[in-house]
Amino acid sequence: MAERKRRRFSITALPGFSTLAIVTFLVLYVPIVTMVVYSFNASMSVAVWGGFSLEWYVYAWNNTLVQEATVRSVIIAVCASGIATTVATMAALGTTRRGRYKGQTIIYLLINQPLMVPEIVTAVALLIVFASIKVATGYTGLAYLIIAHSAFCIPFAYLPIRARLEGMDLTLEIASADLYASPWRAFRRVTLPLLAPGIAAGAMLAFVISLDDVIITEFVKSAGQDTLPTYMLGQLRRAVTPEVNAISTALLVLTVLLLTLFYLLTRRRD
Amino acid sequence: MASAGASAQQDLAVEADRVSKVFGGKTEVRALDDVSVAIRRNEFFTLLGPSGCGKTTLLRMIAGFEPPTSGTIRLAGKDITHLPPNKRPVNTVFQNYALFPHMTVGGNIGFGLEELRKSKAEVEAQVDKMLQLVRMESLKARMPSALSGGQQQRVALARALAPHPEVLLLDEPLSALDLKLRKEMQTELKRLQSETGITFIFVTHDQEEALTMSDRVAVMSEGRILQVGSPKDIYINPVNRFVADFIGETNFLSGTVEGSAVRMSWGDVLDVKTGRPAGTKVTLAVRPEQVRVGVAGKDSGAGATVTEAVYFGTDTHLHLALADGTPLVARLQNPPSGDDGLGVGAKVTVRFADGAVKALED
């Protein structure tokens, strides 16, 4: 731009930039740090410090409700991220292994729909559909939650996979065909190995998103099907105990680990 | 496997028979327009032309990456028009090399052999042989990203040669290399071709590359083949203005047919065969090195004035203007003294070597 050439514009040179940056970081991290610190609180209160203790971790660990909710959350997240990643990989292959085509934008929009439609709308819609199925079939198992989670995890898995595919040289597939590989062999030996980091990243992102979901889960779950987040929400409605802090901190650690792995996998591009 | 009587076909590696390619979309592009060409077994054949002339499209059709809109492609007499690339005994060296980044040099070279279901020992032996052929023995375990451009080029060559294809297709493989490496690879390619006895089809826009490496060259423009012949043939007898202009440097002259000769635009009559009726306007071409420059008043010839003299070390390019203003470039070898005393404004005479002036088709 012409503006740029005359006077090199730098946002860091604006007055108050560093103040704004510091405030932003404080707003982002003070609550998290507070939560982590109070998860080690010996007192029953969430607001008064009563000395260091691991008792809430032990308490949460021994709580059968927490145990059940954790197992349920993991089962749903593993199944949903598996399904979502498979579907997303196929969708990404279908939408990128060719030149520009008619309706490309519409297809992208359709795939990414869960990112744009308010989650509460999806939740209500799913509730209505699943309720009628429940009435008709009498089945009230985990499948509803797995299906619902798979659906909204697809775009999260799709985006890193598509990015990886778009950065991939199409000539590589042509070259493998030239070297006598059938389309399936070319996929197995060239496309898939090169795509693997994207798929892993997509799966991890989907896993974290599923693990974290409250709104859709709250609407879709049958009685006694609390996941970890909905269990915590239920706890907060009664009395806030540092147990919730402890569970949150454990989730935070897990998420940070997964996201670090995600970062490492997507960074290794060549 | 040879049957008597099929010898004419046996001698042909690849034939394109009236091949056309139209790329669809809102504006139709005719990338190839009714192209027919026959490439002989064991020859180094070059498709030469400016970008967009259809040379790469033709190559991709022989490889099977692109189906022709109409026409037939034959390999050793067999119709392969609709055979997928993985079923054609043809391999390609890609312009960007397209090495598999997740495989070692050895893995890349062995890929085709593995897909042909060769035994492990066979693959291993052939990979080693190829590494030797391209002089890369020590780099077998390297990843492609750890190689220089020239080394990647050699791996790409070795990978395409390893399955011993009937035809090797090379899509401007030298364009990404610097000048010195390019010269080296030109010699290297010629050596590989004669050592392996494989038919090479080479695509380039570099006329010098085409002249120095090829047994035969097809000059292409706008989806058509204008002329096929040996480099010498094409240089000496270009069929039309495009070919004459694209290959080497050329002076274009104009004249009118008079009997069996041509009256040039500056009035002289030159003995040039045209095969056209008297009175026809013709374009003629003469190479700068075939222009003989003499001293005015001493040597015979048409009068001309030097408008510019450009020194090139081995020779000097004299830009001349003939009596009617027709521009003409003469390339003169420099004398040992380094100076021929012909400056701007000098009056000279101009003659042409016998048979050097060629009439062009329009």
Tens digit of pLDDT for each residue in A138-149? 888 899 999 999
Q: Longest Cα pair distance anywhere in chain A, in angstroms?
A: 71
Find the residue in A nearest to B61 (Cα): A178
Q: Helices A143-166 & A64-96, crossing angle to 10 degrees?
A: 40
Predicted pLDDT of residue A155: 93
Structural domain boundaries enclosing A69: 57-266
| Average pLDDT estimate for A201-212 | 91
Does B112 contact A179 at a Cβ distance shorter than 8 Å? yes
Residues with Cβ within 8 Å of residue A33, at least 6 apart in sequence: none
| Average pLDDT estimate for A125-148 | 91
Q: Using one digit for the tens of pLDDT, what is the confidence trace for B64-80? A: 999 999 999 999 999 99
Task: Determine, yes or no, domain membership for A249.
Answer: yes
Task: Determine, yes or no, domain membership for A157.
Answer: yes
Find the residue in A nearest to B117 (Cα): A180
Task: Inform me whether the pLDDT recorded for B300 exceeds 90.
Answer: no
Q: Using one digit for the tens of pLDDT, what is the confidence trace for B98-154? A: 999 999 999 999 999 999 999 999 999 999 999 998 888 999 999 999 999 889 999
- Between CA B255 and CA B123 the distance in angstroms is 64
Here the tokens at position B108 are: 């890349």
- Between CA B279 and CA B294 the distance in angstroms is 31
Predicted pLDDT of residue A4: 47
Does B111 contact A189 at a Cβ distance shorter than 8 Å? yes
Instruction: Indicate the pLDDT class of residue A35, thresholds 50, 70 and 90.
Output: confident
Task: Determine, yes or no, domain membership for A161.
Answer: yes
Geometric angle at alpha carbon A216, from A210 and A220, rounded to 5°: 110
Does B96 contact A169 at a Cβ distance shorter than 8 Å? yes
Task: Determine, yes or no, domain membership for A34.
Answer: no
Mean pLDDT score across all residues of chain A = 87
| Count of alpha carbons within 13 angstroms of residue A102, beta-carbon side | 2
Task: Inform me whether the pLDDT recorded for A121 exceeds 60.
Answer: yes
Are B43 and B231 a contacting pair, CB within 8 Å? Answer: no
Mean pLDDT score across all residues of chain B = 90
Task: Determine, yes or no, domain membership for A32.
Answer: no
Does B86 contact A174 at a Cβ distance shorter than 8 Å? no
Task: Determine, yes or no, domain membership for A124.
Answer: yes
Q: For the whole prediction, is pTM greater than 0.90? A: no
Structure letter (DSSP) for residue B334: P
* Backbone angles phi and psi of B101, in degrees to 5: -70, -20
A175 touches chain B (CB under 8 A): yes
If contacts are CB pairs under 8 Å, which of residues 171-230 in chain B contact chain A?
none
B86 touches chain A (CB under 8 A): yes
Q: Using one digit for the tens of pLDDT, what is the confidence trace for A43-55? A: 877 677 888 888 8
Query: How many angstroms separate the CA of residue B223 from the nearest CA in chain A?
Result: 23
Task: Inform me whether the pLDDT recorded for A5 exceeds 60.
Answer: no
Are A167 and A266 a contacting pair, CB within 8 Å? Answer: no
Chain center to CA of B190: 14
Are A122 and A85 a contacting pair, CB within 8 Å? Answer: no
Domain count, chain A: 1
Task: Inform me whether the pLDDT recorded for B8 exceeds 60.
Answer: no
Find the residue in B nearest to A101 (Cα): B25
Which chain A positions have a beta carbon within 8 Å of B144's beta carbon?
none
Task: Inform me whether the pLDDT recorded for B1 exceeds 60.
Answer: no
How many other CB atoms are there within 10 angstroms of residue A85's CB atom?
28
Instruction: Indicate the pLDDT class of residue B10, thresholds 50, 70 and 90.
Output: low
Does A178 contact B63 at a Cβ distance shorter than 8 Å? yes
For residue A86, which amino acid is it? Answer: T
Give the residue from B23, B12, B88 showing the smallest Cα distance to B57.
B23
Give the residue from B139, B140, B152, B138 showing the smallest Cα distance to B107.
B140
Task: Determine, yes or no, domain membership for A224.
Answer: yes
Are B39 and B145 a contacting pair, CB within 8 Å? Answer: no
Which chain A positions have a beta carbon within 8 Å of B94's beta carbon?
171, 174-175
Task: Determine, yes or no, domain membership for A213.
Answer: yes
Give the residue from B350, B343, B344 showing the smallest Cα distance to B328.
B350
Task: Inform me whether the pLDDT recorded for A16 exceeds 50.
Answer: yes
- Between CA B243 and CA B225 the distance in angstroms is 10
Query: How many angstroms separate the CA of residue B101 from the nearest CA in chain A?
Result: 7
Buried b (16+ CB within 10 A) or exposed e, B239-266: bbebbbebbbebbebebebeeebbebbb
A127's enclosing H/E stretch is helix A119-137
CATH number at residue A153: 1.10.3720.10
Instruction: Indicate the pLDDT class of residue A172, thresholds 50, 70 and 90.
Output: very high
Are A155 and A114 a contacting pair, CB within 8 Å? Answer: yes
Give the residue from A69, A83, A171 showing the smallest Cα distance to B96.
A171
